[in-house]
Amino acid sequence: MAIRQDDNRPSRRFGLINLLLIGFGVLLLASNFLPNPAMQVPRVPYSLFIDQVNADNVKRAFITSDQIRYELIKPPAEGAPTVLATTPIFDMELPQRLEQHGVEFAAAPPRKPSFITTLLSWVVPPLIFIGVLQFFARRGGMGGAQGALSFTKSKAKVYVPDEESRVTFADVAGVDEAKTELTEIVDFLKTPERYAAIGARIPKGVLLVGPPGTGKTLLSKAVAGEAGVPFFIISGSEFVELFVGAGAARVRDLFEEAKKKAPCIIFIDELDAIGKSRAGSMGMMGGNDEREQTLNQLLTEMDGFASQDKPVIVLAATNQPEVLDAALLRPGRFDRQVLVDRPDLSGRRTILGIYAKKVKLSEGVDLDKIAQATSGFAGADLANLVNEAALLAARAKRTTVEQGDLNEAIERVVAGLEKKSRVLQADEKKVVAFHEVGHAIVGHLMPGGSKVAKISIVPRGMSALGYTLQLPTEERFLNSKEDLEGQIATLLGGRSAEEIVFGEVTTGAANDLQRATDIAEQMVGTFGMSDTLGPLAYDKQGGGRFLGGNNNPRRSVSDATAQAIDREVRGLVDRAHDRALAILSHNRELLDSISHRILEKEVIEGDELKDLLASSTLPTEAALQAVAA
């Protein structure tokens, strides 16, 4: 791919200043080493000076902040110097002592700085500042020297698709709806006349919305690759920089350039960095002027250009559409929104296929299995997974990637990289072991399409001290109320085990509780699964996460309803907690035995785990009631 800077960079206009800067620096250094007349006087240790004072041999002393010069009454030897110098020590008693021994003494005010030092101290700091600015300005540009005075130049990179490195739709998989929508955009760019002839208005802005790593950037490059037009790529955060006004000027520059190269595409990645709602930002902080100006400029530019036969289409991507200013989403701006979501099973299989072609796979590798085990992975995670597997194979000095490498890579991507260096204390390890086994036993007994595949107490990643891996046995799009209740109970299984075994809880369950509460809230607010509150959606579409203009995720409800919602959520979590406690008390022996086993082995998986969990049983209804009471 050919990415180059589309800027006529100013030359090194600061060459002269650089020279001056170096010159002054050298002078400043030199001034410290200039021969000082005072240096000619022999220096003696302070202790000798004091001895001589005590011996009443000092006539007079002249004290400055960095030396004491004194004259002896009688030199120690014939012809020896009578004037000596010493370095002062912080000594409060000196004046008293001098007085006692009849020394005549005086102190000098701090030395007056010479003219040249004064000049340097005024001139050099600003020059250094300019130097620093210049340094950053250079680094800001990709390679080329960008002067401090051209901050406003658009930093857009032009991506001119060349034959070999061209990204096409074939490189993107698992996001078929988005591809269909964007194919139409490609058509606009290829044959604008057709649309103009019939009087159809070509859309100006298309917004790609979706979680990170799902291929938004990749898709927009594919659009450029398919249409064969120039492609300006810039990230929203690059607009928002140093000086107020620079962002707006950059937007202006960018559109000017684009108009010259039309038909073309402008791609603004991370649009949310500039497009945050203006209303939302007026708070105590008084808003962000710079961003607002940039946003206004963008709106103006999008309204401004309208050439039917030479279209400029603005693509943008964001993973936080809910924070975008409503003005951006109006017709004539980003009026098209394309959802780029995480891939489903077959999508994941296709993406794995694309990346598996880039490495050497061994014969027996079954990518279907890998696709099954990676539910929830985005495209970027899958690309990462294949690469991790290849790295593992290479480290083991094998020539092909095997199934085991891919399996291990899944765990790495799921739980972060193995971090053996992190050592748990023995008692912590015990808590983690019981916690994870608690998850596993409850998870095993709960309904739903997944099975417990592995328990590990090897610390991984930044925060996970241990983990229990549940793999789905089938691809599921729908979850019943029972499934979700089971998920909440499983999440609370870790904490419940701690309560039963140690009689207290630790901070290790914080993330579990967060997720459990989220599920309970969604059940009540989004899925209408509460019996008392009925099939109403109290939370707005998607809980405010996608495509909603309003920041408040909840519909306006009466106080009584709000309280009822809170009570219902609380009830769901409490019941799940009781259930987990009942299950673990009922299977207490198994909890102990698996926990001890894992403390020895650190990891239990596969058939061994299956056999161990097989002996767990659900408590009777009566036992459940007893715990709840």
Query: What amino acid positions are annotated as catalytic residues?
Result: 436
Strands 157-160 and 231-235 come out as antiparallel
Residue 351 is a binding residue for ligand ADP (CB under 6 A): yes
User: Contact with Zn ion (CB under 5 A): which of 459, 494, 525, 619?
Assistant: 494
**115-140 helix and 15-33 helix, angle to the nearest 10 degrees:** 140
Q: Do 618 and 445 form a contact (C-beta atoms < 8 A)?
A: yes
Distance of closest approach, residue 380 Cβ to Mg ion, in angstroms: 9
Q: Which residues pair with 339 in a beta bridge?
A: 209
Total binding residues toward Mg ion, as defined by CB under 5 A = 1
Place of tokens 């130097």: 131
Distance of closest approach, residue 168 Cβ to ligand ADP, in angstroms: 11
Peptide bond into 95 cis (omega under 30): no
Instruction: Please say which residue, 162 or 193, places its beta carbon nearer to ligand ADP.
Output: 162
The rounded distance, in Å, linking the Cα atoms of 616 and 69 is 92
The rounded distance, in Å, linking the Cα atoms of 322 and 550 is 7
Instruction: Please say which residue, 161 or 494, places its beta carbon nearer to Zn ion.
Output: 494
Instruction: Tell me which of ligand ADP, Mg ion, Zn ion, none is bound by residue 172, counting a contact when its beta carbon lies within the kind-specific cut-off of 5 to 8 angstroms.
Output: ligand ADP
Distance of closest approach, residue 214 Cβ to ligand ADP, in angstroms: 5
Residue 354 is a binding residue for ligand ADP (CB under 6 A): yes
- To the nearest 10°, report the CA torsion of 500, 506, 510, 515: -10
Distance of closest approach, residue 350 Cβ to ligand ADP, in angstroms: 8
The rounded distance, in Å, linking the Cα atoms of 148 and 10 is 10
Instruction: Tell me which of Zn ion, ligand ADP, Mg ion, none is bound by residue 273, counting a contact when its beta carbon lies within the kind-specific cut-off of 5 to 8 angstroms.
Output: none
Residue 213 is a binding residue for ligand ADP (CB under 6 A): yes
Distance of closest approach, residue 442 Cβ to Zn ion, in angstroms: 11
Instruction: Tell me which of Mg ion, Zn ion, ligand ADP, none is bound by residue 512, counting a contact when its beta carbon lies within the kind-specific cut-off of 5 to 8 angstroms.
Output: Zn ion
Q: Segment 3-22, which members bind ligand ADP (CB under 6 A)?
A: none
Residue 175 is a binding residue for ligand ADP (CB under 6 A): yes
The rounded distance, in Å, linking the Cα atoms of 532 and 565 is 9
What is the residue type of 287? G
Provide the token pair at 548.
């909603």
Q: Of 67-75, 130-138, 171-179, 211-219, which part binds Mg ion (CB under 5 A)?
A: 211-219
Residue 217 is a binding residue for ligand ADP (CB under 6 A): yes
Provide the token pair at 579.
């259930």
Helix (H) or strand (E) holding 157: strand 157-160
Q: Do 465 and 432 form a contact (C-beta atoms < 8 A)?
A: yes
Instruction: Tell me which of Zn ion, ligand ADP, Mg ion, none is bound by residue 501, counting a contact when its beta carbon lies within the kind-specific cut-off of 5 to 8 angstroms.
Output: none
Site string for Mg ion, 166-205 (x = CB under 5 A): ----------------------------------------
Q: Which residues pair with 3 in a beta bridge?
A: 159
Total binding residues toward Zn ion, as defined by CB under 5 A = 2
Residue 216 is a binding residue for ligand ADP (CB under 6 A): yes
Distance of closest approach, residue 166 Cβ to ligand ADP, in angstroms: 14
Place of tokens 């962000």: 288
CA 58, 62, 65, 68 dihedral sign is: negative
Instruction: Please say which residue, 321 or 494, places its beta carbon nearer to Zn ion.
Output: 494
Site string for Mg ion, 212-231 (x = CB under 5 A): -----x--------------
- Give Cα separations from 452 to 26, 141, 223 (angstroms): 70, 50, 42
Residue 371 is a binding residue for ligand ADP (CB under 6 A): no
Instruction: Tell me which of Mg ion, Zn ion, ligand ADP, none is bound by residue 380, counting a contact when its beta carbon lies within the kind-specific cut-off of 5 to 8 angstroms.
Output: ligand ADP
Q: Do 532 and 568 form a contact (C-beta atoms < 8 A)?
A: yes
User: Contact with ligand ADP (CB under 6 A): which of 45, 212, 353, 542?
Assistant: 212
User: Contact with ligand ADP (CB under 6 A): which of 174, 205, 247, 553?
Assistant: 174
Helix (H) or strand (E) holding 106: strand 104-107
Q: Which residues are CB-neighbours of 13 under 8 A, at least 6 positions away?
A: 147, 149
Q: Which residue is nearest to ligand ADP (CB)?
A: 379
Instruction: Please say which residue, 448 or 494, places its beta carbon nearer to Zn ion.
Output: 494
Residue 317 is a binding residue for ligand ADP (CB under 6 A): yes
For residue 109, what is the DSSP state? P
The rounded distance, in Å, linking the Cα atoms of 276 and 290 is 12
DSSP string, 295-349: HHHHHHHHHH---SSS-EEEEEEES-GGGB-GGGGSTTSS-EEEE-PPP-HHHHH
Instruction: Tell me which of Zn ion, Mg ion, ligand ADP, none is bound by residue 494, counting a contact when its beta carbon lies within the kind-specific cut-off of 5 to 8 angstroms.
Output: Zn ion
User: Contact with Zn ion (CB under 5 A): which of 388, 402, 512, 539?
Assistant: 512
Residues that bind Zn ion (CB under 5 A): 494, 512
Task: Name the site residues for Mg ion (rule: CB under 5 A).
Answer: 217
The residues binding ligand ADP (CB under 6 A) are: 172-175, 212-218, 317, 351, 354, 379-380, 383
